[in-house]
Homo-oligomer: A and B are copies of this chain.
């Protein structure tokens, strides 16, 4: 970049002092109209762009909020990113987004980077970072956490998390209510809290309805499509009497759906299928997939607003995210007995 124009150059061009230019730029004080006009002209003529660094250094405020997402291309977390953008819009703050790629070391590196950039608040989406680090962060600046149940204390930060267990339980209960008795489960990675909770919910529902939990009806996937496909194949081989499958997320459900298609099995006639997360595409699968929706966009937006309110010393009404069962056509009723 070939030497950008500075504020003093503008001042010289307009024949005023630097402080006057600064005042006009920031509206810090009233300024003679004529001079103001001259300054604007000079800015235009020189193509001046204020240097954020210098400004931040002088004011001590960066005007930016750090956002740590596990994956910049994740269909699941991106909704939250959009929400954060919306929440920050018009506030004068802008988000700085970094991905941690589900790796603790990268996440820590990302946080360090954000801290170096003197973000005034931080929003953490999911991720692997130990709670311990999160608490340390919360002590330094306002933070918002999405997708993890963690107590950050009154003034430490806010966290928004869905009750995965309850939703999974509702979902499986729904299947049972529709007459299904042999219900498989394709789970997520066992080191993933969400995955474990969803599995727990599956067990809860079975036990609640007096159905035996059969470990062979559970196969583990990795939350990606291919593992759903493989998981379904394996379940099908061992359990010919299975009539429904609860898949721990929609992405794997897509894979499972394909496995059924390949075998000529119809959904929901031959097999009922439910997912989790309600990705945008799930209304358009064949047939549309029953799933549970988390209001990621709204959660992101609220977290952004929360950070802003903390920064301004205001309070904000709490937000109670409501998970919603999206009942669609991928589930059939079976005569019980």
Q: Which of B53, B113, B141, B257 contacts A53 (CB 8 A)?
A: B53
A44-80 with Cβ < 8 A to chain B:
49-54, 56-57, 62, 71-73, 75, 78-79
Contact assessment for B1 and A141 in the assembled complex, using a CB-CB cutoff below 8 Å:
yes
Instruction: Let me know if A31 is at the binding interface, CB within 8 A.
Output: no
Q: With an 8 A cutoff between CB atoms, is A87 at the interface?
A: no
* Proximity string of chain A (1-30) to chain B, C-beta cutoff 8 Å, 1 when within and 0 when not: 110100000000000000000000000000
Q: Which residues of B contact A117 (CB under 8 A)?
A: 52-53
* Chain B residues, CB < 8 A from A85: 72, 99
Q: Which residues of chain B are near A78, meaning CB under 8 Å? A: 72-73, 78
Closest beta carbon of chain B to A151's beta carbon, Å: 22
Q: How many copies of the shown chain assemble into the complex?
A: 2
Task: Specify which chain B residues have a CB less than 8 angstroms from the CB of A115 in the assembled complex.
Answer: 49
* B56–A72 CB distance below 8 A: no
Q: How far is the CA of A71 from the CA of B86 in the complex (A)?
A: 12
Closest B residue to A101 by beta carbon equals B85
Bound Cα distance from A51 to B113, whole angstroms? 10
User: In the docked arrangement, what's the CA distance between A157 and B68, Å?
Assistant: 30
- Of B57, B72, B98, B283, the contact of A94 (CB 8 Å cutoff): B98
Contact B53 A57 (CB under 8 A): yes
Smallest CB-CB separation from A329: which chain B residue?
A: B261
- Which residues of B have CB within 8 Å of A62? 53
A25 to chain B, nearest CB (A): 11
Q: State whether the Cβ of A281 lies closer than 8 Å to any Cβ in chain B.
A: yes
**A1 touching B54 in the complex, CB below 8 Å, given contacts A284-B225, A284-B257, A285-B286:** no
How many angstroms from the CA of A120 to the CA of B52 in the assembled complex?
Answer: 14
Interface size class of A (residues with CB under 8 A): 35 or more
A82 within 8 A of B: yes
Q: Which of B57, B97, B254 contacts A54 (CB 8 A)?
A: B57
Asked if A286 and B286 sit within 8 Å, CB to CB, the answer is yes
Query: Are B258's CB and A281's CB within 8 A?
Result: no
Q: Which B residues lie within 8 Å of A82 (CB)?
A: 71-73
CB proximity of A135 to chain B, nearest CB, Å? 15
Q: Is A118 an interface residue (CB 8 A)?
A: yes
Q: A115-148 CB contact bits vs B (8 Å, 1 = yes)?
A: 1111010000000000000000000110000000
Rounded to whole Å, the gap between the CB of A253 and the closest CB of chain B is 9
A96 at the interface (CB under 8 A from B): yes
Q: Check A81 for interface membership: any CB of B closer than 8 A.
A: yes
Whole-angstrom CA separation of A85 from B78 in the bound complex: 16
Tell me which of B4, B225, B284 contacts A258 (CB under 8 A): B284
Q: Is A112 close to B, CB under 8 A?
A: yes
**Cβ contacts A264-288/B at 8 Å (1 or 0 each):** 0000000000000000110111111
Q: Is A255 an interface residue (CB 8 A)?
A: yes
Sample 18 A-B pairs with CB under 8 A, ordered by A number.
A1-B140, A1-B141, A4-B118, A49-B112, A52-B116, A52-B117, A53-B117, A72-B82, A72-B85, A73-B82, A78-B78, A94-B113, A96-B96, A97-B97, A225-B283, A257-B286, A285-B285, A286-B286
